[in-house]
Amino acid sequence: MTRHLKKAELHCHLEGAVPPALALSQAIKYRVETDAFLRDGAYVWRDFTTFLAAYDAVAGLFRTESDYALLTETYLDGLATSGAVYSEIFVSPDHAETVGLGADAYVAGISRGIEAARARTGIECRVVVVGLRHRGPERVEWAARYAAECGNPLVTGFNMAGEERLGAVSDFVRAFDMARDAGLGITVHAGELCGAASVRDALDLIRPARIGHGVRAIEDPALVERLADEGVVLEVCPGSNVALGVFADFAAHPLRRLHAAGVKVTLNSDDPPFFHTSLQREYDVACEAMGFTDEELNGMTKTAIGAAFVDEETRRRLLSRL
Ligand code: ADE
Ligand code: ZN
């Protein structure tokens, strides 16, 4: 058990963190039929494509600023209870537009949830705007422009998620250039559904400080060495990887090998209820199934705070809480 450890999370998608009970109450509120994506208190999907469809359906149950405030506060309260002092949540203004909620109202609701959770539990949180790769380069540029120009001090990073097998990384360089020029922290999903080449492309073309997943770098020893040399931080999500079949089980997961090779790694839940996980479970699995000691787990938490998209004063304060 790792209940006693302080924790930090850099990689969790807000709409992927909806507790099934909350999805159900939202569905009742908006009279939405849930059988296609929610059965017996669990989300229903078979593979990455059907996972994305279920994710979109759940996102469609949140339609107002207050809905998003409630979701954000609910997630962060639970995270704080498991010992987390810091959280970065991935938000996609595209999902807000889909339900007719403007990006500003969406981010305002999320900010309200963050402030309420911080007041009650002390948890610190920042927002990373995500562009959805499967919606194409123009939409991803739209999301980057929004992140760059929204002026909300809690929005400190930019990322691209979604269907990694669509489009080339080079199609999205402009979006990331816009976000970087605006001073946002840069991270990108790579090396999850696609292999080591996707991680190399991300490093060469996007120059991120962090990579979402990145775990399939393990297929190329020279790339693992490069990640270690360059100090790029991996947002590793073992439970997600095993649930999606990226690796057969935790014994086959490369977290231990990446850590041993000197790659900076952190633990994350990705889309916790979809993958039957939580940040607490990720720490427990790393301890019990992968044999990481408390000292090593604390090192990962420190790595996460070191790579957080926060100002230096906040980083110092967070480090002092570990
Ligand atoms: N969006 C939500 N979860 C994701 C994942 N694991 N990979 C890519 N895009 C996502
Ligand atoms: Zn993710």
Domains within the chain, CATH numbers bracketed:
7-320 (3.20.20.140)
Largest CA distance in the chain: 53
Residue 46 backbone phi and psi in degrees, to 5: -120, -30
What gap in Å lies between CA 206 and CA 137, rounded to an integer?
Answer: 14
CA of 313 from ligand 2 middle (Å) equals 27
pLDDT given for residue 92 in this prediction:
97
CB of 198 within 6 A of ligand 1: the answer is no
CB of 161 within 6 A of ligand 1: the answer is yes
277 contacts: CB under 8 Å, gap ≥ 6: 239, 240, 243, 269, 270
Which listed ligand is nearest to 135 at the C-alpha?
Answer: 1
CA-based torsion, 277, 283, 288, 289: positive or negative = positive
Q: What is the number of the ligand 1 atom nearest to the C-alpha of 244? A: 6
CB of 15 within 6 A of ligand 1: the answer is no
Contact 270, 237 (CB under 8 A): yes
pTM to 2 decimals? 0.98
Q: Count H helices, E strands: the chain?
A: 14, 10
DSSP-derived 3-state class of residue 97: helix
The CA-CA-CA angle for residues 44, 130, 222, to 5°, reads 90
What gap in Å lies between CA 300 and CA 42, rounded to an integer?
Answer: 30
pLDDT given for residue 129 in this prediction:
98
Cα dist. 71→5, 16, 125, 139, 156 in Å? 25, 11, 14, 25, 20
Within a 13 Å sphere around the CA of 188, how many CA atoms are in the beta-carbon half?
A: 29
pLDDT given for residue 175 in this prediction:
98
| Pairs from 293-300 (Cβ < 8 Å, separation ≥ 24) | 294/2, 294/5, 296/259, 297/2, 297/5, 297/267, 298/5, 298/6, 298/322, 300/265, 300/266, 300/267
Does 192 participate in catalysis according to the annotation? yes
CB of 263 within 6 A of ligand 1: the answer is no
Nearest CA to 48 among 234, 285, 321, 270? 270
Q: What is the number of the ligand 1 atom nearest to the C-alpha of 212? A: 7
Element (H, E) at 309: none
Reading the chain (322 residues) residue by residue, the pLDDT tens digits are 999 999 999 999 999 999 999 999 999 999 999 999 999 999 999 999 999 999 999 999 999 999 999 999 999 999 999 999 999 999 999 999 999 999 999 999 999 999 999 999 999 999 999 999 999 999 999 999 999 999 999 999 999 999 999 999 999 999 999 999 999 999 999 999 999 999 999 999 999 999 999 999 999 999 999 999 999 999 999 999 999 999 999 999 999 999 999 999 999 999 999 999 999 999 999 999 999 999 999 999 999 999 999 999 999 999 999 9
pLDDT given for residue 234 in this prediction:
99
CA-based torsion, 135, 137, 140, 142: positive or negative = negative
252 contacts: CB under 8 Å, gap ≥ 6: none
Identified catalytic residue from 192, 219, 282, 296 = 192
Contact 65, 109 (CB under 8 A): yes
Q: What is the number of the ligand 1 atom nearest to the C-alpha of 15? A: 2
